[in-house]
Amino acid sequence: MKNPLLEFTKKGIYCAAADVYLDPWKPVDKALISHGHADHSRWGHKKYITHRLNVPIVKHRLGAIEIDGREWGESFRINGVEFSFHPAGHIVGSSQIRVAHKGEVWVFSGDYKTENDGIATPYEAVKCHTFITECTFGLPAFKWKPQNEVMREINNWWAENRQAGITSVLFAYSLGKAQRLLSMLDTDIGTIYTHGAIEKMTSVIRDLLPLPPTEQILPETDRKAIRGNLVLAPPSAHGSPWIRKLVPYQTASASGWMTFRGARRRRAIDKGFVLSDHCDWSGLLESIRATVAEKVICTHGYSDIFARYLREEGYDARTEETQYEGELAELNSKEGKEEDT
């Protein structure tokens, strides 16, 4: 049997014909990067290639690196293998990576969602023979409401807290989710304050798209002025000395995991809003059908269950182990922890 165009190795997803890796989790010479989240874009590679919108994000996170940016659909060759980046709809600059060689086409989806959130370039299905898909929410129990409905709930929660003189603390990952929420929060209700980790990342995103004004909470910020307003903070701030300065407050989390009440209780969150930057069950299935792929490789998330279902539907589906974390990366991130004291 010939070697597959892409193979899963100890360092990451490897294209031997081009001698490059896709979102590798160990240092390599040349890495194609789907998006800026820490589990997909890691420090230590000699050269990075990504979509141009992702360049400032990755440089902000990783510092001085050698990195090239490409446009959507721009074809480029490495050792005769054709590569291109296509919108994944996950966060700003997130891409699917198309790989074509000798008539064979693979697509690595990275992380993706099909709902147009108004921030990320909307997802586009890319036809291929083999599709590598995440399965973060690959269970029928996961079914998202339209984001406008969820944002109406969030803004109503904030308005009710403001009327009661309580600060609304909304936890969101500093890259992607925070800017998505920020773009739809109702600034007529009050002022949006931010934790330092979110403010720093938002300042990078502001150069790419318009966002409402925010005020970073600094040591000298008047705590009385914050009361009744909304604070965007990373999950790592929960239970820290930083958040105790915001009393009285209510907490909320915007995540796909808020589908399960137990997830909210375990994290001691007052309110849970179901809003994810990943596909729900039906979104995954619709995306896979649109690729017309015959083979599907399922990675992070409910991969075993999802692959079994696909096989029952007639796909040649299997699973592969990776070090990607999906939305668990958002909930478990320590990003911003150093600023919580």
- pLDDT at 16 exceeding the cut of 70: yes
- pLDDT at 1 exceeding the cut of 70: no
* pLDDT at residue 339 in the model: 45
Quote the CA–CA distance of 135 and 301 in Å, as a whole number.
Answer: 4
Q: How many CB atoms lie within 10 A of CB 268?
A: 9
- pLDDT at 3 exceeding the cut of 80: yes
Please report, rounded to a whole number, the percentage of residues in the chain having pLDDT higher than 70. 96
* pLDDT at residue 225 in the model: 95
Helices 196-206, 177-184: axis angle to 10 degrees equals: 80
DSSP conformation letters of 270-326: SEEE---SS--HHHHHHHHHHHT-SEEEEEEESHHHHHHHHHHTT-EEEE---S--T
* pLDDT at residue 265 in the model: 75
* pLDDT at residue 2 in the model: 72
- pLDDT at 325 exceeding the cut of 90: no
First to last CA, the chain: 57
| Mean pLDDT, residues 240-244 taken together | 91
* pLDDT at residue 292 in the model: 98
- pLDDT at 327 exceeding the cut of 90: no
Which residues in 28-129 belong to E strands, given as ranges?
A: 30-32, 47-51, 67-70, 76-78, 81-87, 95-101, 104-108
The pLDDT mean for the chain works out to 94
- pLDDT at 332 exceeding the cut of 80: no
Among 137, 197, 194, which Cα is nearest to 167's?
A: 194
Q: What is the pLDDT of residues 205-233, one digit of tens each?
A: 999 999 999 999 999 999 999 999 999 99
Residue 86 tokens read as 């296509």
* pLDDT at residue 330 in the model: 56
**DSSP three-state, residue 87:** strand
| pLDDT top residue among 265 and 43 | 43
Report DSSP state, residue 28: -
* pLDDT at residue 125 in the model: 98
Would you say 109 and 85 are in contact if contact means Cβ atoms under 8 Å apart? no
CA dihedral 148, 122, 253, 197 (to 10 degrees): -130
Would you say 28 and 46 are in contact if contact means Cβ atoms under 8 Å apart? yes
Q: Which residues contact residue 54 at a Cβ distance below 8 angstroms, ignoring those fewer than 6 apart?
A: 33, 35, 36, 41, 69, 92, 93, 94, 95
Please report, rounded to a whole number, the percentage of residues in the chain having pLDDT higher than 90. 90
| pLDDT top residue among 334 and 74 | 74
Query: Is residue 296 left, alpha or beta, with left meaning phi > 0 and alpha meaning psi from -120 to 50?
Result: beta
Q: How many CB atoms lie within 10 A of CB 221?
A: 13
Which residues in 79-194 belong to E strands, given as ranges?
A: 81-87, 95-101, 104-108, 130-135, 167-171, 192-194
